[in-house]
Structure 1
């Protein structure tokens, strides 16, 4: 069990390192200037140069990526370009909402999937079994962000039953705000 867990952790770290390296490569491969894109069309050359220096874009690729991973190992995720706040603070500020969403998504999945799966198993090859199978495959095949967009359009925009954005105030309002995202992810 411990060996399996260690393998999964090493695999996860490897995937993150490869993904971050690919993002760094894409930033350098895409034509245009990231500083100009962030600052907009009215940015002066001095503003662009300052942002390049601040973000480390004036350094070679290998130095940029080594600096990033070095900071990551020390818990330094850098600073937000717009608010100048540490990214780690922003992430930890939003962490409770993320945990709520994960728990609500798991709960939604279990409450819906387990009873339907059990009923489907008891009534093999019945119409309900086939419908549940089709819905299960469809929900696995459709990416959650696509499901989220359509659920948002239908239930928040067209029908107006659920809120489109926000986390809500108080327990009951928070639960209502969790319905759409938990449905899309779960």
Structure 2
């Protein structure tokens, strides 16, 4: 297993380099001069030239990339042109909000999606299976921002049960904070709920058709024991991978959710940086999100190796 983890860590290095290169190229391909955008159309040519020199935009592209790569390796993502603050410190300030939102959304998705998939598989080709499949497809297809606004209209404006925007005040108690995360977590988790439900259903159906399940029934074991101790235990192995990947997708999907619900997280920071043409902030946050996604996938691969005996056995002789 140690050899498997070491190999996966080595494979991450070229992926990280490719991500840094891709982010750098994409930012260079965006039309417009950051110096002219920030200084305004009335800025003098010498001021623009001085500002470009301060940002290092007057150097050759290859030199810019090498310097950028050196900064990234040392943890320097640059300085925000609008906030006048290190990009990494800005990201770390907003990161807890996004992580809390993503974990809450994933918790809802797992809590609802796995039981839906199990019920649909057990009642295969029944009316319940049809309903679960339709609901899962709807969850995958619904736009997050549209569903978020629907939740605000129903549960906040009409019923008045839950707050619509903001983080809440910790001094007013834990419920005041949690209540502000319920609606955005539901909006963000709807996509993952449908995905997890579909994968759980497919995995359960595959396991239920195996010979050892029929043998367990033939031995006279109870249905609940066969389903939850034998079938579900093996069916959840590929589902674990899907759940881990969904966490990375939730971090990326938080951009729309945080904008709709006015949550001060990474998504809202990204939108502000885009509209205010803060290319250093956008570049740093895109890179940070991509790196987090890579390491989430790495953690999923390692977890999959821990729960899957076949992977551990395959690397014992390497």
Same-fold call, TM > 0.5?
yes
Which residue among 151, 154, 157 is the counterpart of 1:159?
154
| C-alpha distance in structure 2 between counterparts of 1:49 and 1:38, whole Å | 13
- Rounded to whole Å, the distance in 2 between the matches of 1:96 and 1:54 is 32
Sort the Cα spacing of 1:131 and 1:37 in 2 relative to 1 into closer, same or farther, 3 A: farther
Alignment coverage as a number of residue pairs: 181
Distance in 1 of aligned mates of 2:65 and 2:98 = 28
- The Cα of 1:16 is off from its aligned counterpart by 4.0
Change (3 A) 1:106 1:30: closer
For 1:164 and 1:20, locate their aligned partners in 2 and report how far apart those are by CA, in whole Å: 37
Does residue 19 of structure 2 align to residue 24 of structure 1? Answer: no
Give me the whole-angstrom Cα distance separating, in 2, the residues matched to 1:41 and 1:116. Answer: 57
Matched, 1:182 2:185: yes
Scaled by the length of structure 2, what TM-score is found?
A: 0.50
Shift of 1:34: 2.3
1:89-128 matches, cutoff 5 A: 89-128=89-128
C-alpha RMSD of matched pairs (Å): 2.6
The CA deviation string for residues 55-102 of structure 1, in whole angstroms up to 9 with x for no partner, is 211111112111122111111111111121111211111222122122
Q: Structure 1 residues 26, 91: closer, same or farther in 2, change over 3 A?
A: closer
Whether contact under 8 Å (2:148, 2:187) holds in the other structure is no
Distance, in Å, in 2 between the alignment partners of 1:117 and 1:131 is: 11
Question: In structure 2, how many angstroms separate the alpha carbons of the residues matched to 1:160 and 1:41?
Answer: 45
**1:161-180, CA deviations, whole angstroms, 9 ceiling, x for partnerless residues?**
15454222222232222223
> Matches of 1:74 and 1:80 in 2, distance apart?
17
Q: What displacement does 1:122 show?
A: 2.3
Tell me the TM-score normalised to structure 1 length: 0.79
